[in-house]
Amino acid sequence: MRANPTAAPTSTGWTTGTNALVEDGLYAVYNSTTQQPLVLTTFNLTGAGLTAGDTVTGISVSVHGLAASGLINVALTKTGTTTVAGTAKTATMPTTDGWVTVNTTPTDLWGTTWTVADLQSANFGVILKDNDTTATNIQIDCVRVVVYTAAEPKMNSHAKHATKTCDVCHSATTTTGTSITTPANHATGSYNLAPKTGVTFTYAYNAGGSTCSTVSCHGNAIWGLSQFDCVSCHNVTQPITAGPLAGTSSRRAVSAEFKLTWSHKRAATGAVTKYDCVVCHMEGNADGTQSSFHGDGLLQLRDPDLGGTIKGVTFGGADPGGYTSTAVDATPARFSRNLASSTIEPDTAAIMINLCLKCHDADGAKSTTAQVPGGSALKPFATTVASTGTYYLNNVAAANTAGSVVDVNSSFATSNASYHPVRGKQNNWYLKSTTPALMKAPWNYTTRGATVNTTSYGLLITCWDCHSAAAASGNQTASVTAHGGAATIRYDSWGAANGATTLNLCTACHADSYSTNTTNHSTGSGFATGADSAIGSNFRTCSYCHSSGNNSRPWRGVDAHGFNLMAQLRTDTTTAANAAKWGGTVRGGSKPYAFIRTTRLGSWRPATGTGDTLLGTVGCSQYSTGTGCGNSHGTYGPGGTY
């Protein structure tokens, strides 16, 4: 019989000790060197079935959580304050969220005797503390006591495997899972375990709890005791046994990805929990249990506003166009985005529009099923986003609220002066040039009209054309934006020094040089004439002009995604943007087209701007001197039809 503590713990030195009472993905944390105890008492073993006539034969303790390294010390108490002499044991906590069982033998009484009254007392409990004097960031989600009695049936894990047929583990007895195909191996008075084809495990009998190791469908386990969830099962590669990829592929071990630099999770330490998984995955319920979708061989992703499986999308309408949802669920067998193709996979578009951009929008994840315990629409992972804590206005953060999820969707609005073509197409007459070719494959064009215009719309792109693994190319079946990655963009977003030969994020798609004469961007651009070959022939420093001039988050993200306002001064992080247009009478009056809103420039004016009243002459000037900008290209004659 199992029970969790119910009374508020004594937790000197521990942060939020009450988080250790139930399994909810919230942690009691200890990160000191003085070995202070966490005392957990009032286990409702009476409610679990312990009665006065029972004979206690053994006790085990299971702890759910993680630690950076090191051992924990686990002891029992009868008084609620002092350790029962001789009961202290040690256990090594996992470095990722999981369970550890301190004692697995049903006849171990921890060096003393126990009566039913001892265990039913509110003073019975578990005392946890660090086992050494090194701070190791111990995080405890919950503690569970298991009591064995002489009359209790042997604990087993069959109920946990209810979705499996008998032949998965007993293929020497049944090959069909529904009938006894080898009677000689049935009802022999002994266990007969043999994995079916495609399944692997090593079974070792133990009267106190047999073990399964090297299990193909989850980590090592103790029969009847081990507890598994999303994180522990997906800490190893999982075979795909249903759906279009059944028997031909597997799911990679994703749990460790949440410890990488960029990831979706609540804790900066990488402590992902099953509740984090449910925010995006229909395969789990809000309470962290498996849903009926689990194991069907498909990706069942959650609509963060509606709570159900995401729908497919279609693109259409008058240019620049837009996506609309269909009535059909989008359930791919695997994520896929081919970076070598300008044709967007239908399911990939659905994931982008109805999952990613529905969460990263003005109102966040509205469905409570897409929020962890303690989360909210604006903070679905119950985490304050540091990058939107300092600047969050002008649709940078959801609801313009500090610390909320980043509002990426607003940046891609086709009404913005600058935007990449994610939600809708963009005017691409200039980029359709073939001499010189201004875009790389697969984004290069074959022809364009002879007249400069603002209605020559181009191709659509996806989030993953930029947000993929470092230097990624070809077909991507693992998304760094979903679970986590060492990098979240293909190349450096800020750009290297003048003359550098490495790619930056812009030149993953845009040509390395925009000119055949190496001194400017060529006819039709906002940099049609000029004298600096560093800009023309070594096109690695795009951010000098095409950004806000600020490389910190969330600025650099908005700079790349899109915007409709000028950048603020870099020292101004809380008030509204200073303008929607470039100011000044010498040159100004235009919106921040072409991703140009840098604080390095004092003024900028293209040749035309639809709906704008353009002032003065075309050109730009350095912010501090009023002359050419600090990159020494001198005066230039911009084209720029917007």
Residue 463's alpha-carbon distances to 337, 339, 370, 421, 444, in angstroms, are 10, 11, 21, 10, 19
**Which residues touch 625 (CB under 8 Å, ≥6 apart)?**
none
Residue 305 near residue 367, CB atoms below 8 Å: yes
Which tokens belong to 549? Answer: 């001039």
Q: What is the pLDDT of residue 375?
A: 92
Percent pLDDT > 70 in the chain is 87
Q: What is the pLDDT of residue 622?
A: 63
- Using CA atoms, how far apart are residues 186 and 192, in angstroms rounded to an integer? 8
- Using CA atoms, how far apart are residues 104 and 86, in angstroms rounded to an integer? 17
- Residues (pLDDT < 50) of the chain are 497-500, 528-530, 533-540, 569-574, 577, 625-628, 630, 632-636
Q: What is the pLDDT of residue 121?
A: 94
Q: What is the pLDDT of residue 575?
A: 52
Residue 419 near residue 562, CB atoms below 8 Å: yes
Helix (H) or strand (E) holding 350: helix 346-351
- Using CA atoms, how far apart are residues 288 and 230, in angstroms rounded to an integer? 8
Q: What is the pLDDT of residue 639?
A: 59
DSSP string across 18-39: GGGSS-SS--EEE--SS---EE
What 3-state DSSP class applies to 637? coil
Give per-residue pLDDT as tens, 28-68: 999 888 889 999 999 988 888 888 888 998 898 999 888 88
Q: What is the pLDDT of residue 403?
A: 92
Residue 258 near residue 265, CB atoms below 8 Å: yes
Give per-residue pLDDT as tens, 597-632: 887 777 788 888 888 888 888 777 765 544 445 454
Say if residue 577 is exposed, middle or buried (CB neighbours under 10 Å; 0-12, 13-18, 19+).
middle
Residue 91 near residue 74, CB atoms below 8 Å: yes
Residue 246 near residue 202, CB atoms below 8 Å: no
Q: What is the pLDDT of residue 519?
A: 53
- Using CA atoms, how far apart are residues 217 and 145, in angstroms rounded to an integer? 26
Q: What is the pLDDT of residue 628?
A: 47
